[in-house]
Amino acid sequence: MQTADLKMSEKEKKILDAAIGVISEKGFSAASTSEIARQAGVAEGTIFRYFKTKKDILRGILMHLGNVIAELLVVYGLKKILFHEGHEDLRSGIKGVLKDRMAMIDAVFPMLRIVITEAMYHEDIRQILYDKIISRAVEVFAEYHREMVDKGLMKGEIDAVVAGRSILANLVLFFVYRNLFGPMIELDDYDRELDQVIDAIMHGIAMPENCDKK
């Protein structure tokens, strides 16, 4: 994933790009600043001119994901597809998100994998991830749920934020599963799999006569 759209010097971009590659391959703990420097083609001391610690490199990756990619991927992208492209039904709106965002998710997945992995061990990284990306995405889907309720296309008794989290969780799992296990599974009919994922989001997996049983 190239960082050409970041407002930083060329050396900073090279360092960040190299860090993404090294950390993706070895993990944050095993990645060394010396190897990042070698991949970036700079002296190791140069790294510490821009990033005081190795964790600051991790924060740099996250801030890029949050400030630049999230704006395009989560806020502008989702709103554009869900609200401004004339989707009058649930299926076309949700499928529009899946198909349009797939290429971008593939492009940022190395960064996303680093951030999600390290968020499990670093509370500050976890908080930034939530504030910059997760909470904003949930709110977009919650807003979409409210609009669909007004149109009579979604159940109004389900809390909008809960519905937003549920939709987002299903889509994130689809993307992660595809990127992590794609080579191990058969995806012969991509559109058909998309439709089945959307069916699960829209209708669940229980037979209608069993839906009210608790």
145 shares a domain with 48? no
**CA 81, 3, 102: angle at the middle one, nearest 5?**
30
185 shares a domain with 139? yes
CB of 20 within 8 A of CB of 111? yes
**CA 169, 124, 23: angle at the middle one, nearest 5?**
75
For the segment 130-162, what is each residue's pLDDT rounded down to a tens digit?
A: 888 888 888 877 887 888 788 887 888 888 888
Range list of β-strands (E), the chain: none
Round to whole Å and give the CA distance between 198 and 95: 7
> What is the per-residue pLDDT for 40?
93
144 shares a domain with 107? yes
Evaluate whether residue 65 is within a structural domain.
yes
What's the pLDDT band for 4 if we cut at 50, 70, 90?
very low
161 shares a domain with 182? yes
User: Which residues have a Cβ under 8 Å from the Cβ of 45 and sit 6 or more positions away?
Assistant: none
111 shares a domain with 94? yes
162 shares a domain with 143? yes
CB of 104 within 8 A of CB of 77? yes
pTM value > 0.75: no
151 shares a domain with 62? yes
**Token pair for 156:** 């109004």
Residue 137's CATH number: 1.10.357.10
**Token pair for 154:** 């979604």
Better-scored residue on pLDDT, 50 or 200: 50
84 shares a domain with 97? yes
Last residue of a domain, one of 20, 35, 52: 52
Residue whose pair of structure tokens reads 């593939």 in the numeric block:
106
What's the pLDDT band for 105 if we cut at 50, 70, 90?
confident
80 shares a domain with 14? no
Evaluate whether residue 39 is within a structural domain.
yes
> What is the per-residue pLDDT for 137?
80
Last residue of a domain, one of 28, 52, 76: 52
Q: For residue 39, give its domain range.
A: 1-52
Evaluate whether residue 36 is within a structural domain.
yes
Round to whole Å and give the CA distance between 16 and 61: 7
> Mean pLDDT across the stretch 72-85?
59
Residue 18's CATH number: 1.10.10.60
Last residue of a domain, one of 52, 68, 91: 52
**CA 89, 90, 94: angle at the middle one, nearest 5?**
125
Task: Report the mean per-residue pLDDT for the chain.
Answer: 78
160 shares a domain with 94? yes
124 shares a domain with 157? yes
201 shares a domain with 115? yes
How many domains does the chain contain in total?
2
